[in-house]
Chains A and B, each alone.
Chain A
């Protein structure tokens, strides 16, 4: 037979407890619930929004009488318990006696009424329950109503803001020097006060209340210095007092609150306590999170499972519309503490982190609390923040992919937040698409264009999927190449090699492609992987190449092209310059530009002129500069020892040698090199994919720089003594990238993925491996180290592939 469980108090803590019990052991107890209020359980922390008119009371009800009845709980609402008789194990209420086997005291707390004359006048109320809210709303309904709120803490300010919103003339009297001094430091308190004053609320700090005066009803509040504030309503919000009278009378151990142990036992083994009436480890709690924790622990105790309540770290947010405020932890100044502060006076933003031994121990934010959860997580985990200390205060967006809870972040974004910058797609559009059935990245790309361009927002879109679909969205462990296949790039590449697949059709067949002939995203990737894997057997597929690589020129916005001949190591001659000038004249090139890669670009060339122009440039000894390719672009050099008085090695000569070896090779993405003759680094080698800086004692080879959408300094690979070694190391490194890099990953990205240490093992330490890489590179270059312009400038090529297949201008005109 189930035991008789009696609960005194129908508040949030007992509501949670009952939920837990019903969930975990529905038949263990026969529950009777006593509540002094005439209504069931409601979300008390939402009383402020109800007071402000943002919510109705019905909206905040969590368990009504019907709910309790349906779950077999006998409700005794509007029936105060007056006595607990521990000997007889009964409680006495207004309507008689009720026996219990186990008793739970959940009597909550009452507002603390400051001990001054007149604090019992009608019109002086606390702010604990819906009756208080009704009283306040009634007062606010009178014209020209004046209210005084005593206490500038969380509760008092919420009440003040709500009453002001309801049209009352409100004064807040606060004993301390700044508002919410338990949660805020003076700076944030100041901003908050300014905000409230801006709303017409009168705030008085250091206010010592001397008396509340009035005849039959409250009329005014008088301070120690005799300053008087008229008031038809006084709200006491100077703190709460645990409601312990029953327990005290019953002889249970009570200090400030009813003392409980970790399992929520009081000093009587059959009596438990939970909620705001409890004192645990000398602390009394008033926020909901720890109360819920207590309820869960107590539920475990009641069904004889072991559980321990531990004091949680609790954070604070003020529920006042338009005020963003967050605070957690300890933020007092002390000798062993440091702080990081960010202020934006124009926006009224203040953020402060309190650091002790490289850990966040306190956070105060005002005006912009978007990153509060991120900081809170770091505070709770106690992680060492020394590494990203410089940028910590700017939040997760500045931490380079270290967002801890991206879903919370993305869920909090407004619907008009732009997710895809390229195509201007907002969060709302994407969420709508998801709700209409676009349940994977490919579908979202198709229906909204989000992440269909540069792709840097792919992660965000996936997070939106996860946030919107919840568990229904299985975040792919590795992102498929495209919607044609479920395999990731790396998987496909592995299969190409292991299965010895040497045609694109074979790859699509063996990997179960879902489309007939792939798509514009997988075909160029497959074409590259095949070229890199089977340079001798596989035939480059022009139809799987983006227009620039097919036409060996860069298409411009108007459909014209740019032509850029190679200048080895950035060196040129008068004859070459003359040939370029002649070509520019002959083909009416509208723009001639010197590029950042030390060569000359001819822009605005019509497609039909390309082959002839190439032929002319070929005749002058020039070849394609591959300025359009995912391959070797340029090797930028300085003049080195030939002319420069600081040069330590022949950087120009080394650059030319490298370019002559590497040109024509295809790579996962473009590759740019730089060779500087001394550490002054005039060739800017240290932001290239591979950079060599010459020094007196040799060559410093570094890799994985970038100066595009990302800007990165190169990382040191190795220092070598001879030019030959520098060249060999460079070739081996680039071949490794060709074999391992994912299509469209720049070198820095690839290095970041596989790790520089691993690369060093392959090309610096393992000399046999280095030699093999160089050998494989040479095999590939035996096919690809050639000028595509020469091949495509023949009359036959023009006729077969290049020119219009028919001219109907005459027929159409007839």
Chain B
């Protein structure tokens, strides 16, 4: 009975703790669609990705298919606005706040005071050879894009995604604080 109690507590702790690592597109992002001049929304869960992979039969699709087959979800919210100030910092903060858990590591954080352009890239996972998730926040005064790829990605997948981005050269180390490379 005591063991059962301990097991129950552990199970509950795990169940309560798990969502902290999961990333969900905040609802407030979807509200921005009404203000945006252009909206792109992609929501693909694991089942839809498996289905899509079945139809990625072209030779050109082979690499993407192998990557997509492994994934659990792809979610994109992209909004373009006619004027600046259509979205607030709190809209972006709702995304960032979910990425503060230890499971996520900020790999790139670019802020341009001059242009107001920001780009943030987060990786999930402790495994140095594999990434368990990717979130990109790209924010301009007239554009806000959030990309969430849920599931295992090899560094080579990131390279293929970003062309010559060169992320494979990044040593994906577990739990290291980002070092400031430059500042203005």
Co-complex (A, B): no
